[in-house]
């Protein structure tokens, strides 16, 4: 099975390095970039690029993200180093640490966030909010109330949210959640003050292919989203980016019943990042990803990886052990950069750097 996996990786590598600058028709690539205990995802379409989050664990991963994007634009010269949309799910540093550098290094046409000006990543987010107009960047923030106004249960999309219009494979980008302007009745004050619960929820459709991104949405926020879109199938996708780096408080059975994923991807750090230190903001201290979440995903996902993998996962903070993963669950600490090739017919190929 290793050979098959390697052949897939070789095929995509050759495509990236030898094909014509423009991407293949009717094909998109989702790049889950290894940024350590953080998140950043590049959506590559036939005629444009979108970046969801620009987090980085530290300076080395910050540089790795900028280098990854630079190499991408060297290959896709037709895109003229332009990010059609840069979307930040919420203002925490692990989701926007490299935001300023991305905006300074590449052209950004549009910028979206949840409108908050608080949290560990507030300096980067407020910089983008305040400087967008002068830089010629279209900016708008979206709240849950905006998106669900007048009983709307189909999400929200417009030319700012969905700026990529390709004649040879046109994606559709939809928002389903954002900042809660008022505390929901069933939330505690702590739930409302938890900025993770105000993360943007983003679905990307490419023909029959579908992807979902929920930032660091936690249990209370997830339940509000599930309740809002109950019986609509709006959250139903094939590929799920697992929320909050695989934390125990960011995935539920009800949520997975609504999403029905065939693939799952986790972005987090190496298990021993922070081991031996007193820093509480590390993979080791958080205990990401959790064994119970991986087990839950395995119950909901039927398809298997090209080959099983033995990895470290956590039963709790600073409590890791080896487990076997054979379902289609991928993670940046095990697989490094993960690329999913998707066609408008809903066919997928997963390649990794491991």
Q: Give bridge partners of residue 210 from the DSSP assignment.
A: 205
pTM exceeding 0.75: yes
Would you give the distance in Å from CA 191 to the centre of its chain?
22
In this structure, whether the domain defined by 2-352 belongs to CATH 3.60.15.10 is answered with yes
| Boundaries of every domain in the chain | 2-352
State the Cα torsion 244-247-248-251 to the nearest 10°.
40
| CA atoms of 195 and 325, how far apart (whole Å) | 31
H/E stretch holding 51: strand 48-52
| CA atoms of 228 and 258, how far apart (whole Å) | 11
| CA atoms of 159 and 144, how far apart (whole Å) | 18
> What are 278-308's pLDDT values in tens digits?
999 999 999 999 999 999 999 999 999 999 9
In the chain, the N- to C-terminal Cα span, in Å, equals 14
Dihedral sign for Cα atoms in the order 137, 142, 148, 154: positive
| CA atoms of 340 and 12, how far apart (whole Å) | 10
> What are 42-92's pLDDT values in tens digits?
999 999 999 999 999 999 999 999 999 999 999 999 999 999 999 999 999
């Amino acid at each position: 099975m290793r050979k098959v996996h390697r052949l897939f990786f070789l095929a995509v590598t050759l495509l990236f390095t030898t094909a014509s600058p423009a991407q293949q028709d009717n094909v998109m690539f989702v790049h889950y970039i290894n940024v350590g205990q953080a998140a950043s995802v590049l959506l590559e379409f036939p005629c444009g690029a979108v970046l969801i989050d620009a987090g980085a664990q530290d300076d080395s991963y910050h540089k790795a993200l900028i280098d990854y994007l630079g190499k991408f634009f060297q290959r896709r010269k037709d895109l003229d180093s332009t990010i059609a949309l840069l979307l930040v799910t919420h203002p925490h540093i692990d989701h926007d640490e490299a935001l300023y550098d991305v905006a300074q290094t590449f052209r950004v046409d549009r910028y979206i966030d949840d409108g908050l000006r608080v949290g560990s990543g507030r300096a980067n987010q407020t910089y983008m909010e305040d400087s967008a107009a002068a830089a010629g960047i279209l900016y708008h923030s979206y709240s849950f109330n905006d998106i669900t106004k007048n009983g709307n249960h189909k999400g929200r999309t417009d030319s700012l949210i969905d700026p990529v219009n390709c004649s040879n494979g046109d994606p559709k980008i939809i928002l389903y959640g954002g900042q809660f302007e008022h505390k929901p009745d069933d939330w505690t004050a702590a739930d409302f003050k938890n900025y993770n619960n105000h993360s943007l929820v983003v679905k990307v459709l490419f023909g029959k292919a579908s992807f979902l991104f929920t930032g660091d949405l936690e249990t209370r926020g997830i339940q509000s989203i599930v309740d809002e879109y109950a019986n609509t199938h709006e959250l139903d996708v094939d590929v799920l980016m697992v929320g909050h780096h695989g934390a125990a408080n960011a995935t539920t059975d009800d949520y997975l019943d609504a999403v029905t994923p065939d693939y799952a991807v986790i972005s987090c750090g190496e298990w021993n990042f922070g081991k031996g230190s007193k820093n509480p903001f590390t993979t080791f201290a958080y205990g990401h990803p959790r064994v119970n979440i991986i087990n839950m995903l395995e119950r909901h996902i039927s398809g298997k990886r090209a080959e099983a993998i033995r990895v470290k996962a956590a039963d709790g903070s600073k409590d890791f052990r080896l487990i076997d993963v054979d379902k289609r669950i991928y993670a940046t600490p095990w697989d490094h950069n993960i690329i999913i090739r998707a066609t408008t017919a809903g066919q997928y190929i997963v390649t990794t750097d491991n």
